[in-house]
């Protein structure tokens, strides 16, 4: 009897070990590695970048995506629908494999779509667990699907190149989770990398090429994009947001002639609100350490006086560029990208209770004071401008 009981228990336990009844074969799955959203009239256009495992090979090899020969390692499918989920279902209807979004790296928002309102698209990402909230988000110049199919010679997929560019651009790339969190938070407006196609070679060459490049910051007010910040100010505003990785900056020489290029390998920025009644002053403190990576002036950087002048010029240039960017943010776009309101909320909650109902009116009037503590600790392997005769070099 005992043997029969043991045998019955072993037989019953084996039933729980047969966990393959709901399996999905990998040959039945289409892996989405990147997607983008555009708006066409009243419809959402969803474009999916789907990996082709059979074409994945080494760079430059036959069948390799991202190399110089062979077929692409991905293909695009694009459909429209009344909602984002509906457009994805339309793509699924024409696909013989089940779409899987668990490996999506990036989500691109077309500029026209971003300028309307982006909040309605977020519901499906939180509602369906398969969607990765770690997917990085960016805005594109023009339709996003054109960027998704652009050349990415150094990577197998354009979405992978975009992800790497965003990791280089900022310390904390904005993913879906951070994007939704900032949209729902008080005292801060969203900013996203602004991506466009740029000429990779001079005009007139036989094979004209365009590369994917981050060319600015897309600025939001609420859930609508209101403008784009471009130029050198982007790097310094990114630094003031404490999000810059290793920005570089052109600084005039000690006598105002020529330029020295400085790369800030370490940088930290902090906000401190000073409130007196209804008057708000925001103090931005920046600590940065850098290295000289180019010197085309006539000055030797080995002289202590010249280094001191260079640090002073670097500080003035940094402050000027940050103020220039802030004027656009405060006066033109009214976008609190740096999070002045959040800084007040965190450090003086009582004051924020007084200001938050009028923050749209108050924000443009906030006075900004910038303190910098810059130190250039590395001038490279030579202190004199290389290739110049000693009589041409100014030592003081």
The fold adopted by the segment(s) 232-396 is GMP Synthetase; Chain A, domain 3 (3.30.300)
Beta bridge partners of 251: 260
Closest by CA to 117, choosing from 227, 228, 229, 225, is: 225
Output the pLDDT for position 5: 66
The continuous run of DSSP H or E covering 251 comes out as strand 248-252
Output the pLDDT for position 375: 94
Output the pLDDT for position 278: 87
Output the pLDDT for position 69: 38
Q: Does the pLDDT at position 335 exceed 50? A: yes
Beta bridge partners of 38: 45
| pLDDT tens readout for residues 352-393 | 999 999 999 999 999 999 999 999 988 887 777 776 666 656
Cβ atoms of 113 and 120 within 8 Å: the answer is no
Confidence class for position 2, pLDDT limits 50, 70, 90: low
d(CA 184, CA 82): 24
* Pairing relationship of beta strands 43-51 and 29-40 according to DSSP bridges: antiparallel
Which tokens go with 59? 């760079």
Strand locations in 183-311, DSSP E?
191-199, 210-221, 224-230, 248-252, 259-276, 279-295
d(CA 288, CA 244): 11
Stretch among 18-22, 117-121, 186-190, 194-198 having the lowest mean pLDDT: 18-22
Output the pLDDT for position 68: 37
Is 11 or 46 the better-scoring residue by pLDDT?
Answer: 46
pTM, full prediction: 0.87
Cβ atoms of 301 and 383 within 8 Å: the answer is yes
How many Cβ atoms sit within 10 Å of the Cβ of residue 57?
Answer: 18
Helical spans, DSSP H, in the chain: 2-15, 84-93, 111-114, 123-127, 144-148, 158-169, 176-184, 233-240, 304-327, 340-347, 349-355, 359-362
Which tokens go with 237? 């505003």
| pLDDT tens readout for residues 191-202 | 999 999 988 777
Q: Does the pLDDT at position 75 exceed 60? A: yes
Q: Does the pLDDT at position 92 exceed 70? A: yes
Residues of the chain with CATH 3.30.300.210: 232-396
Q: Does the pLDDT at position 182 exceed 50? A: yes
The three-point CA angle 139-144-145 to 5° equals: 160
d(CA 396, CA 394): 6
d(CA 390, CA 134): 55
Question: How far from the centroid of its chain's Cα atoms is residue 277's Cα?
Answer: 37
Output the pLDDT for position 303: 75
Output the pLDDT for position 62: 43
């Amino acid at each position: 009897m005992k043997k029969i009981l043991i045998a019955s228990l072993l037989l019953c336990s084996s039933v729980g070990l047969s966990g393959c009844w709901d399996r999905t074969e990998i040959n039945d799955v289409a892996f989405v590695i990147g997607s983008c959203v555009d708006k066409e009239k009243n419809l959402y256009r969803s474009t999916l970048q789907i990996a082709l495992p059979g074409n994945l090979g080494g760079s430059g090899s036959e069948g390799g995506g991202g190399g110089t020969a062979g077929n692409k390692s991905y293909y695009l499918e694009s459909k429209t629908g009344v909602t984002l989920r509906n457009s994805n279902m339309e793509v699924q209807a024409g696909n013989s494999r089940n779409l899987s979004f668990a490996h999506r790296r990036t989500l691109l928002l077309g500029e026209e779509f971003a300028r309307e309102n982006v909040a309605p698209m977020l519901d499906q990402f939180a509602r369906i667990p398969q969607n990765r909230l770690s997917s990085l988000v960016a805005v594109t110049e023009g339709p996003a699907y054109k960027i998704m199919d652009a050349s990415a010679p150094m990577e197998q997929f354009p979405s992978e190149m975009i992800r790497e560019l965003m990791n280089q651009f900022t310390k904390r790339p904005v993913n879906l989770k951070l994007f939704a969190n900032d949209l729902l938070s008080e005292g801060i407006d969203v900013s996203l990398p602004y991506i466009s196609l740029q000429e990779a070679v001079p005009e007139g060459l036989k094979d004209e090429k365009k590369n994917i490049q981050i060319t600015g910051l897309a600025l939001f007010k609420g859930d609508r994009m209101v403008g784009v910040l471009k130029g050198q100010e982007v790097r310094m505003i990114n630094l003031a947001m404490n999000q810059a990785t290793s920005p570089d900056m052109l600084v005039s020489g000690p006598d105002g002639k020529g330029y020295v290029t400085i790369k800030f390998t370490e940088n930290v920025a902090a906000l401190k609100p000073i409130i007196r009644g209804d008057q708000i002053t925001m103090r931005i403190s920046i600590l940065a350490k850098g290295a000289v990576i180019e010197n085309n002036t006539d000055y030797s950087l080995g002289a202590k006086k010249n280094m001191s002048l260079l640090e002073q010029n670097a500080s003035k240039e940094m402050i000027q560029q940050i103020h220039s960017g802030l004027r656009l943010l405060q006066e033109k776009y009214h976008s609190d990208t740096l999070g002045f309101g959040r800084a007040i909320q965190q450090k003086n909650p009582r004051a924020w209770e007084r200001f938050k109902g009028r923050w749209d009116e108050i924000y443009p009037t906030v006075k900004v004071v910038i303190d910098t503590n810059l130190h250039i600790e590395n001038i490279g392997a030579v202190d004199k401008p290389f290739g110049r005769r000693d009589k041409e070099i100014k030592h003081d």
